Amino acid sequence: MKKLRINMLSSATSVSGQGVGSAYMEQVALVKENEDLFEVTENKRGDKFDIVHVHTVDPKYRIKMNKKHINVIYVHFIPTTLDGSIRLPKLAFKIFKKYVISTYKKADEIVVVNPCFKKPLMELGIAEDKITYIPNYVSKEQFHPLEKDEIVKIKEKYGIPQDKFVVMGCGQVQTRKGVLDYIEVAKKMPDVQFVWAGGFSFGAITDGYEELKKIMENPPINVKFLGIVPRDQMNDIFNACDVLFMPSFSELFPMSILEAVNSSKPVVLRDLELYEDILFKKYEKGTNVDEWVEIFRKLIEDKKYYSKAQKNSKYISEFYSKENVNKLWREYYPRVYNKYINNSKKKLQK
């Protein structure tokens, strides 16, 4: 079989601090390694491609989805997950949601990063046989445990106490991420250091901007907001902390979870259905502030409990290994190409 020409279209890296940007970089780098099967370009003009893989729903990419090639779109969110993320006038928000749905429907094939989003997409009228689940992946070369002496220096750099248990929060500062609950947990645990890596990637249109901005400017004494941290420095932050805490109200497949487990850190989450099929119950979960405080106390005081939580993270890390996810992409692109090659509606070049 000839090499498939795949053009990746994305603006995800234009806004710092987004998980979608991290997912894009990892996926493209992984697919590019398969030089025996694929010839990969990024944001290239023209139509001389077998597959155009759209990673973000920009209008400039939507118009490039045509009958001259197979159009694959990555679904990193569905309309309901936008609630609590950005704040727009009701009419504008309604129009944007409709635009997102119509863009997904225009694609020939859809890739979801979480199997629980198949059903909502089918309810929107998208055929099940057009939806494929392929999880995110994080490189162990970029995210991995560091030596103790390196961690000491990192903590000095960021002003993180050497002798305290450190709870890390991660992601855009917005209502959907559960930042308010994160702060309430911190208030109940004054002896523990809380560190949040992330900021307002979308500025003033972020949901809850005014309230959250006040908190960032005057946080509890044991909370440190680091702002948006460049991705090439995030491994340092994970290693400087003892646990990742994500009290998000909704997610798809957070890259930060994969980054944390690669760094051998336990993960504490809100009890959400969407995690069940992708994390195999290998995480600590709670539904409210008091339950999370209890979990952190146990992680601090019970070494066996903490060790077990680390082993659970290792399990997740090994399941989402480079080798496993790469096999899925090596199968996926040839399969969808062969599916459409003899379709008279497509002007594909054999």
Q: Determine which of 112-116, 188-192, 300-304 has the lowest per-residue pLDDT on average.
A: 112-116
Report the alpha-carbon distance of residue 78 to residue 187 in Å, rounded. Answer: 33
How far is the CA of 182 from the CAs of 123, 198, 269, 298, 348, in angstroms?
33, 13, 11, 17, 51
Place of tokens 């893989």: 53
26-79 pLDDT per residue, tens: 999 999 999 999 999 999 998 899 999 999 999 999 999 999 999 999 998 887
222 in Cβ contact with 194 (< 8 Å): yes
Report the alpha-carbon distance of residue 279 to residue 319 in Å, rounded. Answer: 9
What kind of architecture, by CATH, is found in domain 4-137+321-340?
3-Layer(aba) Sandwich (3.40)
Q: What is the dihedral of CA 8, 11, 14, 15, to 10 degrees?
A: -120
* Range list of H helices, the chain: 19-32, 59-62, 90-106, 118-123, 148-158, 179-188, 209-217, 234-240, 255-262, 276-279, 289-301, 303-319, 322-340
Look up the pTM and report it. 0.83
What's the CATH code, domain 148-319? 3.40.50.2000
Please say if the pLDDT value at position 83 is more than 70: no
Q: Determine which of 109-113, 115-119, 193-197, 200-204 has the lowest per-residue pLDDT on average.
A: 200-204
Q: Order of strands, edge to edge, in the sheet holding 243-246?
A: 223-227, 193-197, 166-170, 243-246, 267-270, 284-286
Taking the domains of the chain in order of start, what are their residue ranges?
4-137+321-340, 148-319
| CB neighbourhood size of 205 (10 A) | 11
CATH topology identical between 4-137+321-340 and 148-319: yes
Q: At what angle do helices 289-301 and 179-188 cross, to 10 degrees?
A: 50
Q: What is the pLDDT of residue 17?
A: 43
Please say if the pLDDT value at position 91 is more than 70: yes
